[in-house]
Amino acid sequence: MNSFKELLTIPRLKPIARREALQGLAFISIWFIGFFIFTLIPMLATLAFSFSNINLAQEEALRFVGFGNYQKMLSDSSLRNALGVTLKYALIALPVGLAVPFAVAVLLNNKHLRAKGFFRVMFYLPYVIPFVAGIFAWGGLLNPEQGWINQTLEALGVQNPPGWLNDPLWVYPSLVILGLWGIGSAVIIYLASLQGVPTELYDAAKVDGAGWWATMRNVTLPMMSPVIFYSLVLGIVGVFQYFLVPLVVTDGTGRPGGATMFFNLYMYKTFFTFQNMSYGAAQAWVLFILILVVTIFLFWSSKYWVYYAGETREG
């Protein structure tokens, strides 16, 4: 394995290679410039803000408050509730969000399935519909009084259909159902990955007498593990950033009973409703650190469950 020092050594390049490298850098520099101006610098600015007292609703001289905003979080019961809501939702949404698109991809990859193209388009189609429009449509469908879902259930004889988004018991399943609307992209990626699994491995498994489940467990899942890992990381980031759906379906009120007051929504309200910029900035940094810690843990754990073909591992 290369040492870190070797990695940092820039090899002498021939003129053509150097020109190509410079061209490559020129192209990628646009992204870097955008990243610095629109992401990194604002992030660092929020870090500075989080140690100050900027509150747009109050006239107060700018001053340094140390870790005051971070200490305030420890006694903020609303923030604790928001974090709890986010974690509860993550426990339901993440497994479903990983399993359902995977299952759909496996179905779409089945050699016995007819009209594969049609089904793939059908599963992908909702993804191209503007997400907010989808949320509004689902909000209407899940309306406990006038929504089609409950009207259908009542027509089928269900006496007390769920309150969906207005019921603390049903609100998370409702949000999960609503989220499944946009699985088309994940399905396509899983599908591409499934089709990339070498057929020789399946043939070998068949020769060894492996059934469907054994093949899935010993061939498909290990070969798919990098994509599952990728989905898991982005899924966790997404869960922590979950915002748009509760904002739209509950007008940001957190109803029912605070069950949809997610961390990110609370942060948004701190920033833009309460106009407490410094406290919002501190929350943003706590959120960032939480996501970072979880992501690092996932990367660390990946050596135990993610299989990269061709990778040699140290003993």
Partner 1 sequence: MKISFRWTLIPALALLLVFAACAAPATPAPQPTAVPAQPTAAPAQPTEAPAQPTAAPAQPTEAPAQPTTAPEATVAPTATALPTAAAGRTQIRWFVGLGTGTDPAQVTVQQEMVDKFNASQDKIQLVLEVVAYDAARDALATQIASGNPPDIVGPVGVSGAEAFHGQWLDLAPLIEKNNYDLTQYDKGAVDFYKVGGEGQIGIPFAIFPSAVFYQRDMFDEADLNYPPHKYGEKYKWKDGTEEEWTYDTLRKLALLLTVDKNNKDANDAAFDTKNIVQYGYEPQYQDLRAVGSYFGAGSFVAADEKTAQIPPQWADAWKWVYDGVWKEHFIANGPTRESQEFGQGNPFNSGKVATALTHLWYTCCVTDAGGNWDVAVAPSYKGKTTANFNADTFRILKASKHPDEAFTVLTYLLGDASLDLLKIYGGMPARTADQKAFFDSLNETWKQKVDWQVFVDGIAYADNPSFEGYMPNYNESFDLANVFLNKLYTTDGLDMDKEIAQFQKDLQAVFDKKATP
Residue 95 vs 211, nearer CB to partner 1: 95
Assess 179 for contact with partner 1 (CB under 8 A): yes
Q: Which of 183, 224, 259, 281 binds partner 1 (CB under 8 A)?
A: 183
What mask, x for binding partner 1 by CB under 8 A, covers residues 99 to 128?
Answer: -xx-------------------------x-
Q: Which of 79, 85, 178, 259 binds partner 1 (CB under 8 A)?
A: 178
Residue 15 vs 66, nearer CB to partner 1: 66
What mask, x for binding partner 1 by CB under 8 A, covers residues 54 to 93?
Answer: xxxxxxx----x--xx-xx----------------xx--x
Name the minimum Å distance from CB 211 to partner 1. 27
How far apart, in whole angstroms, are the C-alpha atoms of residue 180 and residue 178? 5
Q: Which of 47, 81, 84, 94 binds partner 1 (CB under 8 A)?
A: 94
Assess 196 for contact with partner 1 (CB under 8 A): no
For residue 33, the Cα-to-chain-centroid distance in whole angstroms is 25
Dihedral (CA of 55, 58, 64, 68) sign? negative
- Closest by alpha carbon to 251, among 278, 230, 269? 269
End-to-end CA distance of the chain: give it in Å, rounded. Answer: 13
Residue 277: CB atoms within 10 A of its CB come to: 20
- Asked if residue 165 lies in contact with residue 249, where contact means CB atoms within 8 angstroms, the answer is yes
Size of the site for partner 1 (CB under 8 A): 101
| DSSP type of residue 66 | T
- Asked if residue 194 lies in contact with residue 103, where contact means CB atoms within 8 angstroms, the answer is no
How far apart, in whole angstroms, are the C-alpha atoms of residue 31 and residue 199? 38
Token pair listed for 183: 């699985």
Assess 96 for contact with partner 1 (CB under 8 A): yes
Span of 22-30, 96-104, 197-205, 214-222 interacting with partner 1 by CB under 8 A: 96-104
Assess 35 for contact with partner 1 (CB under 8 A): yes
Span of 11-19, 21-29, 200-208, 272-280 interacting with partner 1 by CB under 8 A: 272-280
Name the minimum Å distance from CB 110 to partner 1. 19
How far apart, in whole angstroms, are the C-alpha atoms of residue 10 and residue 142? 59
Assess 229 for contact with partner 1 (CB under 8 A): no
3-state secondary structure of 271: helix
Name the minimum Å distance from CB 6 to partner 1. 9
Q: Which of 79, 104, 149, 186 binds partner 1 (CB under 8 A)?
A: 186
Assess 130 for contact with partner 1 (CB under 8 A): yes
DSSP for 83-113 reads: HHHHHHHHHHHHHHHHHHHHHHHHHHT-TT-
Assess 311 for contact with partner 1 (CB under 8 A): no
